[in-house]
Amino acid sequence: MNRLLMVLAIVLLLSVIVMGWALIPAMEKTFVPGVWVWDLSLAGMSPSEAYTHLAVTLPIQQPNVILVGPEGQRWSLSPADLGISVDLPATLARAYAIGHSGSGVTVLLERLDVMYHGERLSPILVWEQAHAISRLHAIAAEVARPASDAYIRSEGTALYLESGVVGRQMEVSATLDALLPALFALQPVEYVVPLTELQPQITDEVVSQALGIANAILAEPLTLLVADPREGDPGPWTVSPEVMAEMLRVDIKVGETWVGLDETALGEFFSPLEMALYIEPKDAQFHFDPETSQLIPLTDGYVGRALSVTASITKINEMLHAGQHFVPLVFDVIPTAYPDTITAEELGIRELVAVGESYFTGSSSARDKNIRLGASKFDGIMVAPDQVFSFNEYLGEVTPEEGYDESYVIIGNRTVPGVGGGICQVATTAFRAAYYSGLPIIERWPHAYRVGYYELGGYGPGFDATVYSPLVDFRFENDTPYHILIQTEADAARARLRFLFYSTDSGRVVEQIGPEWGESIPPGPDVYEFDPEMPAGTYERIENAHNGLNATLKRVVKDANDNILYQDTFVSNFVPWSARYRFGPDFVPPTDAEVIGLETDTDE
């Protein structure tokens, strides 16, 4: 019996060997039976057939990845959508090598083993991570909701809190990490995308606090006032809650909140008030008492002020935050240069250093008045060291409103009635005081023609000065280290005007040279001007004739050591001035006269 069994086993073995040997040629160009790629059999397929089979059958393009959003949204994705692909050539090469890598009995035995036991291979997958991330970011954009900060909504004076909204964002990296195992196994998966909440940066609590401040600001009108008003000050000013609401500015940032009235809007509100509330400081004016060497105040000075817009705006917001709606404005004090408490010693005023005088004998009452009024503008004036004195600056406006009367003035080549006639007498007197003080004279203009008033007292022609604001001025500089106090005296009995300069005598010596002048230049023919309003056959003289003249006044100024400081020459070219007349109808002017305004018949 044993011998029989042995014989049967040998026969069976030989049969298998014969059958396997017979299979060798059939499997040379096909996959060995028992070779699988995952659950796909490749038995008996050629490489091209296997390629087509795997390409169609593997679930690369199947939407077996399901992502679920927060509102139930569903996104179906295939592995290919997430960057998965199969390297079919490499996968098939690996599968084909099974049962084809040897020869003879070896390959026979390998094929028999595969056929009996089977061989399952995983496909060789390729993953493009960037493609997966890009696809997930597109879904994340659909899921995302930005956080909204809380804010204040306004409707006129009514303010409301608009609450912040929590935002969200999809966690792309966490989603991808969760999907990778199923992706590489090409297995179906359903996954709820993870979300992260985005909290508002500006919370309801922060805005609520700002809202409380804003409501307190708009609770009642704002009243602005001048704490220490002076006579004539405007105000107070009331700003209604409606206007304040338009000015309200709320700036809420992380870690910083500002609530108040907008600085630019308040600046525009203050713009017209700056000029209205500005007060120029006024210097006290003095006389010098030679006996006591003290200053005697004539008028009190006072400090000026200027509205400080920046400080006022800051104070408004500070006080509104404190619940106060009555706010005093803030001013910058502008000090006066010469308060009434200043002393002569402080200013270096010790003695009389120069006198200028002129005479106005024969002046009309209007001219007399104008001289006195004009001179009073300079009484008590201080000229500081290095200051340039301007006659026109201190004179101010010459108008009837300032008290000046109409008298004769020189305008162009005419002497005509005008407000302020006689002011040049004041300028001439100031010029003489500056001349004798030895101070530098910056600007001086002579009159157009000789004026007899300025030669009274033996001064001669050319010792005068004219002014006509703003083009023609008289100016000198105080180049000494001491102040100069100007006093004026109008002596009615002597018809004399004087300018007295008080300071400290620096030892200057003034040598007057001249004035010197040449031959008189006779005027041209008399001028007759037709006036149809005059009675027929009448005429009147309106301007006297004046001879022309060229005059020169000089001076040499030396210091206490006899050094020459200045050598000045003041030239006056007085033009000849014709007599002028007015005449009415039927009056025949002299044949040698120049006639103006009368039409003549030129036909022969």
Strand partners, 202: none
d(CA 270, CA 48): 91
Exposure class string for 96-121: b at 16+ Cβ within 10 A, else e: bebbbeeeeeebbebbbebbeeebeb
Residue 12 has pLDDT above 70, yes or no: no
Number of structural domains in the chain: 3
Claim to verify: residue 300 and residue 407 sit in the same structural domain: no
Check residue 418 and give its pLDDT: 58
Would you say residue 70 lies in a domain? no
Strand partners, 485: 382, 502
Claim to verify: residue 447 and residue 363 sit in the same structural domain: yes
Residue 212 has pLDDT above 70, yes or no: yes
Claim to verify: residue 329 and residue 418 sit in the same structural domain: no
Check residue 19 and give its pLDDT: 52
Would you say residue 43 lies in a domain? yes
* Digit-coded pLDDT (tens) for 187-206: 899 999 999 999 999 999 99
Would you say residue 283 lies in a domain? yes
**Weakest-pLDDT range from 114-118, 376-380, 531-535:** 114-118
Claim to verify: residue 349 and residue 496 sit in the same structural domain: yes
- CA quadruple 289, 292, 294, 297: dihedral positive or negative? negative
Check residue 603 and give its pLDDT: 36
Among residues 468, 469, 486, 387, the alpha carbon closest in space to that of 429 is found at: 486
Check residue 587 and give its pLDDT: 92
Residue 355 has pLDDT above 90, yes or no: yes
Domain termination residue (choose one: 308, 334, 360): 334
Among residues 271, 276, 172, 270, the alpha carbon closest in space to that of 229 is found at: 276
Claim to verify: residue 426 and residue 546 sit in the same structural domain: yes
Pairing of strands 475-477, 484-491: unpaired
Claim to verify: residue 433 and residue 454 sit in the same structural domain: yes
Q: What is the percent of the chain where pLDDT is above 90? A: 58
Claim to verify: residue 330 and residue 348 sit in the same structural domain: no
Would you say residue 160 lies in a domain? no
Claim to verify: residue 112 and residue 239 sit in the same structural domain: no
Residue 9: which pLDDT band, with cuts at 50, 70 and 90? low
What is the average per-residue pLDDT within 94-100? 87
How confident is the prediction for the chain on average, in pLDDT? 88
* Digit-coded pLDDT (tens) for 292-331: 999 999 988 899 999 999 999 999 999 999 999 999 999 9
Claim to verify: residue 310 and residue 376 sit in the same structural domain: no
Among residues 210, 200, 314, the alpha carbon closest in space to that of 252 is found at: 210
For residue 163, report the phi and psi dihedrals to the nearest 5 degrees: -65, 155
Would you say residue 197 lies in a domain? no
* Digit-coded pLDDT (tens) for 540-569: 998 888 888 899 999 999 999 999 999 999
What is the average per-residue pLDDT within 325-339? 94
- The SS3 assignment for 544 reads coil
* Digit-coded pLDDT (tens) for 493-523: 899 999 999 999 989 999 999 999 988 889 8
* Digit-coded pLDDT (tens) for 384-401: 999 999 999 999 888 888
Claim to verify: residue 329 and residue 365 sit in the same structural domain: no
* Digit-coded pLDDT (tens) for 402-438: 888 875 555 555 555 656 678 999 999 999 999 999 9
Residue 352 has pLDDT above 80, yes or no: yes
What's the CATH number where 317 sits?
A: 3.10.20
- The SS3 assignment for 303 reads coil
Instruction: Report the side by side order of strands in the sheet with 496-503.
Output: 351-359, 496-503, 484-491, 381-383
What is the average per-residue pLDDT within 100-110? 77
d(CA 114, CA 120): 10
Is the CB of residue 218 less than 8 Å from the CB of residue 159? yes
Claim to verify: residue 434 and residue 290 sit in the same structural domain: no
Tokens of 410: 């020189």
CB atoms within 10 A of CB 60: 18
Domain termination residue (choose one: 334, 357, 390): 334
Residue 590 has pLDDT above 60, yes or no: yes
The length of the chain, given as a count of residues: 604
Residue 21 has pLDDT above 60, yes or no: no
* Digit-coded pLDDT (tens) for 135-156: 999 999 999 999 999 999 988 8
How far is residue 23 CA from its own chain's centroid? 98
Check residue 119 and give its pLDDT: 86
**Weakest-pLDDT range from 33-37, 98-102, 453-457:** 98-102
Claim to verify: residue 295 and residue 378 sit in the same structural domain: no
d(CA 534, CA 537): 8
- The whole domain housing 562 covers 344-596
Among residues 556, 560, 439, the alpha carbon closest in space to that of 506 is found at: 560
* Digit-coded pLDDT (tens) for 220-267: 999 999 998 888 889 899 999 999 999 999 999 888 899 999 999 999
Instruction: Report the side by side order of strands in the sheet with 527-530.
Output: 539-543, 580-583, 527-530, 594-596
Would you say residue 209 lies in a domain? no
Domain termination residue (choose one: 334, 368, 387): 334
Tell me the angle at which helices 365-376 and 423-437 cross, rounded to the nearest 10 degrees: 50
Would you say residue 207 lies in a domain? no
Would you say residue 387 lies in a domain? yes
